[in-house]
Amino acid sequence: MDAEASPRSITGHLRGALNAARGVWAHTARLALDIALPTLCVACREPVDGEGVCAECWAKLSFIAPPFCPRLGIPFVYDPGPELLSMEAIANPPAYARARAAVRYDDVARTLVHALKYQDRTDLAPAMGRWMARAGQELLGEADILVPVPLHWRRGWSRRYNQSGALARIISRQSGVKLASEALRRVRATEQQIGLSRSQRASNVQGAFKVASDRSADIAGRRVILVDDVLTTGATVDACARALLRAKAAAVDVLVFARVVDTHKAPI
Protein backbone atom coordinates (compact mmCIF):
# COMPACT_ATOMS: atom_id res chain seq x y z
CA MET A 1 0.00 0.00 0.00
CA ASP A 2 2.61 2.41 0.99
CA ALA A 3 4.47 2.02 -2.30
CA GLU A 4 6.04 5.45 -2.05
CA ALA A 5 7.24 5.02 1.53
CA SER A 6 10.37 3.27 0.55
CA PRO A 7 11.60 5.73 -2.10
CA ARG A 8 10.57 8.54 0.22
CA SER A 9 12.64 7.18 3.06
CA ILE A 10 15.53 6.67 0.64
CA THR A 11 15.10 10.28 -0.43
CA GLY A 12 14.96 11.24 3.24
CA HIS A 13 18.16 9.35 3.95
CA LEU A 14 19.78 10.90 0.93
CA ARG A 15 18.67 14.34 1.99
CA GLY A 16 20.00 13.72 5.48
CA ALA A 17 23.34 12.56 4.11
CA LEU A 18 23.43 15.50 1.74
CA ASN A 19 22.70 17.95 4.55
CA ALA A 20 25.43 16.37 6.68
CA ALA A 21 27.85 16.63 3.76
CA ARG A 22 26.72 20.22 3.24
CA GLY A 23 27.37 20.92 6.89
CA VAL A 24 30.91 19.55 6.64
CA TRP A 25 31.42 21.42 3.39
CA ALA A 26 30.07 24.66 4.84
CA HIS A 27 32.35 24.22 7.82
CA THR A 28 35.35 23.62 5.53
CA ALA A 29 34.35 26.56 3.34
CA ARG A 30 34.00 28.76 6.43
CA LEU A 31 37.47 27.70 7.59
CA ALA A 32 38.86 28.46 4.13
CA LEU A 33 37.12 31.83 4.23
CA ASP A 34 38.61 32.56 7.66
CA ILE A 35 42.05 31.92 6.22
CA ALA A 36 41.37 33.93 3.07
CA LEU A 37 39.88 36.98 4.76
CA PRO A 38 41.70 38.99 7.42
CA THR A 39 39.30 38.55 10.30
CA LEU A 40 42.08 38.87 12.87
CA CYS A 41 44.52 41.76 13.06
CA VAL A 42 47.79 40.42 11.72
CA ALA A 43 49.80 42.28 14.34
CA CYS A 44 47.83 41.75 17.59
CA ARG A 45 45.35 38.96 16.56
CA GLU A 46 42.32 41.00 17.64
CA PRO A 47 39.25 40.74 15.35
CA VAL A 48 39.23 43.28 12.55
CA ASP A 49 37.08 43.99 9.47
CA GLY A 50 38.79 44.52 6.20
CA GLU A 51 42.31 45.72 6.01
CA GLY A 52 44.59 43.39 7.94
CA VAL A 53 45.46 45.63 10.90
CA CYS A 54 43.12 46.91 13.59
CA ALA A 55 42.70 50.62 14.31
CA GLU A 56 44.99 50.38 17.32
CA CYS A 57 47.87 48.80 15.36
CA TRP A 58 47.22 51.15 12.45
CA ALA A 59 47.71 54.05 14.88
CA LYS A 60 50.99 52.45 16.03
CA LEU A 61 52.37 52.32 12.47
CA SER A 62 54.75 55.26 11.97
CA PHE A 63 53.77 56.66 8.60
CA ILE A 64 56.59 58.76 7.18
CA ALA A 65 55.55 62.32 6.38
CA PRO A 66 57.49 65.50 5.57
CA PRO A 67 59.93 66.84 6.57
CA PHE A 68 62.32 64.20 5.26
CA CYS A 69 65.58 64.01 3.30
CA PRO A 70 64.65 64.61 -0.37
CA ARG A 71 67.11 61.90 -1.49
CA LEU A 72 66.85 59.11 1.07
CA GLY A 73 63.39 59.84 2.45
CA ILE A 74 64.72 59.63 6.02
CA PRO A 75 62.43 61.66 8.29
CA PHE A 76 63.85 64.79 9.92
CA VAL A 77 63.04 65.67 13.52
CA TYR A 78 62.66 69.30 12.48
CA ASP A 79 62.39 70.95 9.06
CA PRO A 80 65.86 72.06 7.87
CA GLY A 81 64.36 73.81 4.83
CA PRO A 82 63.77 72.64 1.27
CA GLU A 83 66.39 70.57 -0.60
CA LEU A 84 68.64 70.16 2.45
CA LEU A 85 70.02 66.60 2.45
CA SER A 86 70.58 64.23 5.35
CA MET A 87 74.14 63.47 6.51
CA GLU A 88 73.71 59.91 5.21
CA ALA A 89 72.85 61.17 1.70
CA ILE A 90 75.93 63.41 1.66
CA ALA A 91 78.34 60.86 3.17
CA ASN A 92 77.04 57.88 1.22
CA PRO A 93 75.23 59.04 -1.93
CA PRO A 94 73.26 56.15 -3.43
CA ALA A 95 73.14 55.14 -7.11
CA TYR A 96 69.38 55.78 -7.11
CA ALA A 97 68.01 59.34 -7.17
CA ARG A 98 65.32 59.26 -4.46
CA ALA A 99 63.88 56.75 -2.01
CA ARG A 100 60.47 56.90 -0.32
CA ALA A 101 58.92 54.60 2.27
CA ALA A 102 55.39 54.34 3.62
CA VAL A 103 56.38 53.59 7.23
CA ARG A 104 59.32 53.23 9.60
CA TYR A 105 60.45 49.65 10.10
CA ASP A 106 59.23 49.05 13.66
CA ASP A 107 57.41 46.18 15.42
CA VAL A 108 54.06 46.50 13.65
CA ALA A 109 55.73 47.07 10.25
CA ARG A 110 57.98 44.05 10.82
CA THR A 111 54.94 41.88 11.64
CA LEU A 112 53.24 42.96 8.40
CA VAL A 113 56.38 42.40 6.29
CA HIS A 114 56.98 38.95 7.79
CA ALA A 115 53.32 37.93 7.40
CA LEU A 116 53.41 38.90 3.71
CA LYS A 117 56.81 37.34 3.10
CA TYR A 118 56.76 34.11 5.08
CA GLN A 119 53.12 33.36 5.94
CA ASP A 120 51.68 33.93 2.47
CA ARG A 121 49.36 36.65 3.77
CA THR A 122 48.86 37.97 0.24
CA ASP A 123 45.67 39.65 1.50
CA LEU A 124 47.92 42.25 3.17
CA ALA A 125 49.45 43.38 -0.13
CA PRO A 126 46.54 45.68 -1.21
CA ALA A 127 46.67 47.81 1.97
CA MET A 128 50.48 47.89 2.05
CA GLY A 129 50.62 48.70 -1.68
CA ARG A 130 48.11 51.53 -1.28
CA TRP A 131 50.13 53.08 1.55
CA MET A 132 53.22 52.82 -0.65
CA ALA A 133 51.43 54.44 -3.61
CA ARG A 134 50.52 57.36 -1.35
CA ALA A 135 54.10 57.71 -0.03
CA GLY A 136 55.49 57.55 -3.57
CA GLN A 137 52.95 59.88 -5.17
CA GLU A 138 55.59 62.43 -6.25
CA LEU A 139 57.86 59.74 -7.76
CA LEU A 140 54.97 57.88 -9.41
CA GLY A 141 53.84 61.09 -11.13
CA GLU A 142 57.17 61.20 -13.00
CA ALA A 143 57.76 57.46 -13.53
CA ASP A 144 57.46 55.38 -16.71
CA ILE A 145 57.82 51.92 -15.25
CA LEU A 146 57.81 49.91 -12.00
CA VAL A 147 60.39 47.17 -11.45
CA PRO A 148 60.19 44.89 -8.40
CA VAL A 149 63.41 43.69 -6.78
CA PRO A 150 63.73 40.05 -7.90
CA LEU A 151 63.08 37.29 -5.40
CA HIS A 152 65.66 36.97 -2.67
CA TRP A 153 67.62 33.83 -3.05
CA ARG A 154 67.59 31.77 0.12
CA ARG A 155 69.34 28.54 0.76
CA GLY A 156 66.95 25.67 1.48
CA TRP A 157 63.97 27.98 1.15
CA SER A 158 61.50 26.89 -1.50
CA ARG A 159 59.22 29.91 -1.31
CA ARG A 160 58.48 31.19 -4.82
CA TYR A 161 56.20 34.07 -3.86
CA ASN A 162 57.77 37.45 -4.61
CA GLN A 163 56.41 39.96 -2.08
CA SER A 164 57.98 42.89 -3.96
CA GLY A 165 56.20 41.79 -7.13
CA ALA A 166 52.87 41.59 -5.27
CA LEU A 167 53.33 45.13 -3.87
CA ALA A 168 54.44 46.47 -7.28
CA ARG A 169 51.28 45.01 -8.90
CA ILE A 170 49.06 46.90 -6.43
CA ILE A 171 51.03 50.15 -6.90
CA SER A 172 50.76 49.76 -10.68
CA ARG A 173 46.99 49.29 -10.46
CA GLN A 174 46.71 52.24 -8.09
CA SER A 175 48.89 54.67 -10.07
CA GLY A 176 48.55 53.51 -13.67
CA VAL A 177 52.37 53.23 -13.98
CA LYS A 178 53.23 50.12 -15.99
CA LEU A 179 54.89 47.10 -14.42
CA ALA A 180 57.96 45.30 -15.80
CA SER A 181 58.14 42.30 -13.45
CA GLU A 182 60.73 40.30 -15.32
CA ALA A 183 63.03 43.14 -16.40
CA LEU A 184 65.51 42.72 -13.57
CA ARG A 185 67.04 39.31 -12.88
CA ARG A 186 69.17 37.94 -10.11
CA VAL A 187 72.13 36.51 -11.99
CA ARG A 188 74.15 35.45 -8.97
CA ALA A 189 73.04 33.76 -5.77
CA THR A 190 73.64 35.97 -2.73
CA GLU A 191 73.93 35.26 0.98
CA GLN A 192 71.17 36.58 3.22
CA GLN A 193 71.79 40.23 4.06
CA ILE A 194 70.73 39.72 7.69
CA GLY A 195 73.65 40.01 10.11
CA LEU A 196 76.05 41.54 7.57
CA SER A 197 77.72 44.94 7.99
CA ARG A 198 77.06 47.80 5.55
CA SER A 199 80.18 47.08 3.46
CA GLN A 200 79.58 43.30 3.56
CA ARG A 201 76.02 43.88 2.37
CA ALA A 202 77.29 46.01 -0.52
CA SER A 203 79.86 43.46 -1.70
CA ASN A 204 77.39 40.59 -1.18
CA VAL A 205 74.96 42.01 -3.76
CA GLN A 206 77.50 43.65 -6.09
CA GLY A 207 76.94 42.40 -9.65
CA ALA A 208 74.08 40.15 -8.47
CA PHE A 209 71.48 41.85 -10.70
CA LYS A 210 71.18 42.36 -14.42
CA VAL A 211 68.56 43.67 -16.83
CA ALA A 212 67.43 40.78 -19.00
CA SER A 213 68.68 41.35 -22.56
CA ASP A 214 65.21 40.74 -24.01
CA ARG A 215 63.78 43.39 -21.64
CA SER A 216 66.31 46.19 -22.20
CA ALA A 217 63.77 48.11 -24.32
CA ASP A 218 61.55 48.35 -21.19
CA ILE A 219 64.37 50.11 -19.33
CA ALA A 220 66.45 52.18 -21.79
CA GLY A 221 65.50 55.86 -21.59
CA ARG A 222 62.78 55.17 -18.99
CA ARG A 223 62.28 56.62 -15.53
CA VAL A 224 62.18 53.57 -13.30
CA ILE A 225 60.85 53.02 -9.79
CA LEU A 226 62.34 50.03 -7.99
CA VAL A 227 59.90 48.39 -5.55
CA ASP A 228 60.90 46.42 -2.46
CA ASP A 229 59.38 45.59 0.92
CA VAL A 230 62.09 46.84 3.30
CA LEU A 231 65.06 49.18 2.95
CA THR A 232 67.80 48.59 5.52
CA THR A 233 71.20 49.91 4.38
CA GLY A 234 69.95 50.20 0.80
CA ALA A 235 72.68 47.85 -0.55
CA THR A 236 70.20 45.68 -2.50
CA VAL A 237 68.30 48.54 -4.15
CA ASP A 238 71.62 50.28 -4.85
CA ALA A 239 72.93 47.19 -6.70
CA CYS A 240 69.62 46.99 -8.60
CA ALA A 241 69.79 50.71 -9.45
CA ARG A 242 73.31 50.28 -10.83
CA ALA A 243 72.12 47.42 -13.06
CA LEU A 244 69.20 49.55 -14.33
CA LEU A 245 71.48 52.55 -14.99
CA ARG A 246 73.92 50.28 -16.87
CA ALA A 247 70.94 49.32 -19.03
CA LYS A 248 70.49 53.07 -19.76
CA ALA A 249 67.55 53.84 -17.47
CA ALA A 250 66.96 57.63 -17.54
CA ALA A 251 66.54 57.70 -13.74
CA VAL A 252 65.99 55.25 -10.90
CA ASP A 253 63.93 55.97 -7.77
CA VAL A 254 63.08 53.54 -4.97
CA LEU A 255 59.74 52.89 -3.26
CA VAL A 256 59.56 50.55 -0.25
CA PHE A 257 56.94 49.67 2.32
CA ALA A 258 59.19 50.21 5.35
CA ARG A 259 62.60 51.69 5.92
CA VAL A 260 64.94 51.34 8.87
CA VAL A 261 65.41 54.71 10.52
CA ASP A 262 68.39 54.96 12.84
CA THR A 263 66.92 56.90 15.71
CA HIS A 264 70.34 57.27 17.39
CA LYS A 265 71.67 59.47 14.62
CA ALA A 266 70.76 63.14 14.61
CA PRO A 267 69.33 64.14 11.22
CA ILE A 268 71.79 66.99 10.64
Least Å distance, CB 63 to Zn ion, is 16
Contact 258, 104 (CB under 8 A): yes
- How far apart are alpha carbons 212 and 26 in whole angstroms? 47
Interface positions with Zn ion (CB under 5 A): 41, 43-44, 54, 57
C-beta closer to Zn ion: residue 43 or 168: 43
Closer residue to Zn ion, CB minimum distance, 61 or 205: 61
Residue with Cβ nearer Zn ion (51 or 144): 51
CA dist., res. 26 & res. 46, Å (int): 24
Amino acid identity, position 97: A
Choose between 42 and 225: whose C-beta lies nearer to Zn ion. Answer: 42
Q: From the CB of 59, what's the least distance to Zn ion, in Å?
A: 9
Bridge partners of 256, per DSSP, are 101, 228
Distance CA 140, CA 150 (A): 20
- Output b/e per residue, 177-191; b: 16+ Cβ within 10 A: bebbbebbbbeeebe
Nearest distance from C-beta of residue 200 to Zn ion, angstroms: 35
Provide the minimum distance between the beta carbon of 61 and Zn ion in the complex, in angstroms, as a whole number. 10
